[in-house]
Each structure stands twice: as structure tokens, then as C-alpha cells.
Amino acid sequence: MSATASTPAEQQVGLTQVLARFATGGTAAISDHAAAVTRALVDTVGVAIASTGEPAEQVLQAWAARQGSAGRASVWTTGRAASVSHAALLNGTAAHQLDYDDISPNTPMHPSAVLMPALVAVAEDRGLDGRRIVEAYDVGAATFRAVAELLPQHVHYARGWHTTATVGRLAAVAAIVRLVGGSTGTARHALGIVSSQVAGSRPNFGSMTKPLHAGCAARDAVMAVELAEAGFTANPDELEARDGFFDRYGDPDLAPVGDPGETLAERLEHWAETWPNDWGLKSYPACYGTHRGIDAALALRSRVDPAAVETIRVTVHPRGTTALVPFPPESATAAKFSLEYAVASALVRGPVRLADFVDPAFTDPEVRTLMHRVVVSELAEPPTGPGGTAGGYAVVEVVDRNGRREVERVDVTRGDARAPLTDAELFDKFDDCCATGGWSRDDATRLLETLTALVAGGPVEDVGPALARNLWRDERPVTPTLSEKEPRP
């Protein structure tokens, strides 16, 4: 995709121009996915609130307070007002803090943790109609997937990049541009600006910095659009330039066959229509790479006695362990990225909850003993059931001391678009997240009503007051951490 390989037509309408035209509405109309976007908003705000009082959240809030960022955008974990960029940073980090935010089953990314904090903050700051968030989110969701395909994603991720942070910056810029009705010129310069800020490394998975990636991506996208609107310039062809975004973060030789500009345009149009089919809301507050294993372990739980288990073999599809941490996990936070811990926890305690990733649960002797009996491996062909791994799989085999063997295979996780959470299950998750963040049921219900009304055209000015009930958290040191909270039954 470097300039040396470009055709004259591609040079005239390059990748940056293609994405800018898509962002500004210069292509076919986008379908109205209001129901899916509403679910994304509710889920993202809920999981952010659940992180209230976590050590990383407290450190970041204290840092932000020292910066003195006044503004009209709401900080979800405190109800305070902040500048649009600070709100995007704080809310994006909080949304990704507990690894409970949404996923894309076909690509390792968390779209809403970047898109929603940026879009809501900008909408509040500018007093925009909440209905515009739907189309803007569609643009961002499509950009996330189309750009990842063009890199291609598996090469990008294998190099150690965190797609949520890297591709997320471009996706959020495209979404904000659509939200504010920006020009193609603004979009091209904003894409050039934000492409220069791209960062986020997978070695930080399991640390406080991983969720910061999402917050920084949201903040940088806001900054890039605001600077470009004010006349700040960048290379308007940055994505396709020699040593530009796709050269730096992708591999042109492994990208999809065909003209890059035409391919990007086609994939943007495709994903604008179909992204809800490659989407899911998490059932468990852990890395998505653990979810199939958790589902399989839960299905086995009634058929095995954890105390009698000799060996647990977990087999997953190729690259199915890429996002996971080395065994054994060194902390409750790192345990969110441990298939061994997740499977052991599910077998011993049942459905995996927020309380399973705090120190008392992490040090549970029964779970720790069992997780050391888990052996994880990757295999191209599943050891049981039909062949093929196009969508990924996990097989959990439990062998007890008497040699009795129980096996369960899961291809589609609960919460995936092919097996979605019901509205009732989503609202229960939201309520539980709010309770974990210290909210009453009545306050959580009012916030839920405000968020669902926003996407339907409700006043954006109502978001701040709905969150402001949380302003009692003036004394940050006494705010309970997750380990001190009692999740609602």
C-alpha cells in the first residue's frame, strides 16, 4: 500500500480519501441500527460504572483532577463535568477497566469502549441530538472492522499491537466526524493527526495500562477532530503514504487481493450494514479468549466433581491463546487473561462474575489447586465434533482419578450475536454493574431510562444529571474498591 505500489487512480482517491468520504456521508446511506447502538451504550456505561473505585480508576481520576479540566461532558464514574477530551479518556479507560465491555467475535477488538466515550462526550459538549449517535456509531463500527481486515488484522495483532487502541483511533475519528457533520478535508487531516498518535501494546494486557489504551484512543480521536476543525494540518494522504499507517502497522503483501481503495470502500459499506452480526456483549468480565472455555466448563459442572479431577485439557483454535497471559497469572487482574484460572473458577464456583477477579477469590485454594491441573493447547482441527475452525472453538475435557472422561465443546459463546443476551439479561448485567459501583436500584433504573431515551432523541442534557447522583464520591480514598464491594445477588 506504499506510494511506490499505487496506481494513478489510487493516488487520486487514496485510502484516506475513501475513509474520509465514508465518514462524511459521501457514500451510500447507512442503515439505522438504533436497537444495537442502544444496547452498546447501556452496556458500555454499565461496565464503566462497575469500575468505580478500582485502584486504576482512582489514580486516573486523581491525575485528571490535578489537570483542572472544566467542561460540559460527564465522567461516568463520578458524575462530574469535564472537558470533552478528559471525559473521553476517563470514560474509555473505565469502560475497558474490568474487561467486561463488548467484543467482535471475528476480530480481537472492543469497539464500544473507544467509540461510546468519544461520541457521548462530544454530543454533550456540543448539545447534539442523541439520535446522531446511531449513525456515527455505525460509521465507527464499520471502520473498526474494515481497517482491521485491510491491515490484515492477524499480522497486526501478532506484532504485538492492541487493535482496540490502534485501529480504534481511526474508527473514533471517523465516527466523530459523522456525528458533528465534518467535511472531508477535516476528516483527512484528523485521520492524519490521529494516525501519528497510534499506540497500544499487547504486552500490557493484564495491567492497568491495557484499559488506558481505550481511553487514550477516545481522547486522541476527540483531539484530532477538534484540531483539524481549527485548521491544524497533517498529511491528508497519511494512511496510504509510503511509511504511512498501513505500511507501519500492516503488511501490504498479505492484505486482501485487489485495489486497496476499492477494497476498503467495499468493506466499509459491507460492515456498515452487517457489524451487528459480528458483535457481542460479554457474559463474563474476562478476556474474550476465555469465554468459550468458561461456557464449556459451566456445561460440564453438573457432570464432574472438582475435588476428584485429575486433569483438565483445554484445546482451542490456532491463535486462540494470543491474548492470554503466561501461566500462572500473577494477580487478580491478570487472571482475567488466564484460561486456566477461568475454567477452574467456572468448575468450582459456577458462572464467572466480577467477584471472581478480586484477591480473596483469586487466592481461593480450591480454585488455585484446580487451575494447576489445566493444560491448554491450540489445534487446527477440534479434537471432538465436526472439523473446521473458521469461527473459533474451545474443547474442555475433564478426566477424574478413576479415568472417567467428560468432554464439552463450544463454538459460539453466550452473548455472541448468534446467541445474544436478551434485553432482560442485559438489563440485569447493567443493574449488577451499577450495584457494584455503589448505585441504588432506583438510581440505576433512572440512568437506564436516560440512556435508552438518548438514542431515541432524548435530551443529551439529561445524561449529566442522571450521573450526578454519584457526586457523593468527593472523598476518593474512601470509595470502595471492587474487592470491598458486595455484588448484588
pLDDT at residue 120 above 80? Answer: yes
pLDDT at residue 181 above 70? Answer: yes
Sign of CA dihedral 371, 375, 377, 383: negative
- Give residue 151's pLDDT band: very low, low, confident or very high (50, 70, 90): very high
pLDDT at residue 339 above 90? Answer: yes
Give the three cell numbers for residue 150. Answer: 485491510
- pLDDT number for residue 9: 38
Sign of CA dihedral 92, 95, 96, 98: positive
How far apart are alpha carbons 305 and 186 in whole angstroms?
Answer: 61
What are the beta bridge partners of residue 376? 314
pLDDT tens profile 386-435: 887 778 999 999 999 999 999 999 999 999 999 999 999 999 999 999 99
- pLDDT number for residue 486: 42
pLDDT tens profile 252-271: 889 898 899 999 999 999 99
The DSSP call for residue 487 is: -
How far apart are alpha carbons 318 and 464 in whole angstroms?
Answer: 45
pLDDT at residue 440 above 50? Answer: yes
Domains belonging to the chain, first-starting first, are: 3-277 (1.10.4100.10), 288-410 (3.30.1330.120)
Q: Which of 24, 26, 30, 25 is nearest to 186 (CA)?
A: 24
How far apart are alpha carbons 390 and 318 in whole angstroms?
Answer: 10
- Give residue 471's pLDDT band: very low, low, confident or very high (50, 70, 90): low
How far apart are alpha carbons 236 and 294 in whole angstroms?
Answer: 46
Element (H, E) at 309: strand 309-316
Give the three cell numbers for residue 229. Answer: 476543525
pLDDT tens profile 50-95: 999 999 999 999 999 888 778 999 999 999 999 999 999 999 999 9
Cis peptide before 328 (omega within 30 of 0): yes
Q: What value does the mean pLDDT take over residues 153-160?
A: 92
Q: Could you tell me what percent of the chain has a pLDDT over 70? A: 92
What are the beta bridge partners of residue 410? 394
Give the three cell numbers for residue 473. Answer: 464520591
- pLDDT number for residue 480: 36
H helices present in 314-389, as ranges? 339-349, 359-362, 365-371
Sole residue written with cell 475497558? 96
* Cα dist from 417 to 36, 52, 79, 206, 276, whole Å: 10, 28, 32, 26, 7
* Cα dist from 139 to 118, 151, 266, 410, 428, whole Å: 13, 18, 13, 31, 29
What 3-state DSSP class applies to 488? Answer: coil
Q: Which of 164, 187, 192, 162 is nearest to 176 (CA)?
A: 187
Q: Which of 317, 300, 320 is nearest to 309 (CA)?
A: 300
Give the three cell numbers for residue 117. Answer: 466515550
Give the three cell numbers for residue 41. Answer: 451504550
pLDDT at residue 488 above 70? Answer: no
- pLDDT number for residue 423: 95
Give the three cell numbers for residue 361. Answer: 477469590
How far apart are alpha carbons 40 and 137 in whole angstroms?
Answer: 9
The DSSP call for residue 390 is: T
φ/ψ (deg, to 5) at 376: -110, 135
What are the beta bridge partners of residue 66? none
pLDDT at residue 323 above 90? Answer: no
Roughly what angle, to the nearest 10 degrees, separates helices 209-229 and 163-180?
Answer: 30
φ/ψ (deg, to 5) at 377: -145, 160
- pLDDT number for residue 351: 92
What Rg do the C-alpha atoms of the chain give, in angstroms?
22
- pLDDT number for residue 104: 94
What is the residue type of 237? D
pLDDT at residue 21 above 80? Answer: yes
pLDDT at residue 482 above 90? Answer: no
Choose between 367 and 1: higher pLDDT: 367
pLDDT at residue 28 above 80? Answer: no
Looking at every residue in the chain, the average pLDDT score rounds to 91
- Give residue 470's pLDDT band: very low, low, confident or very high (50, 70, 90): low
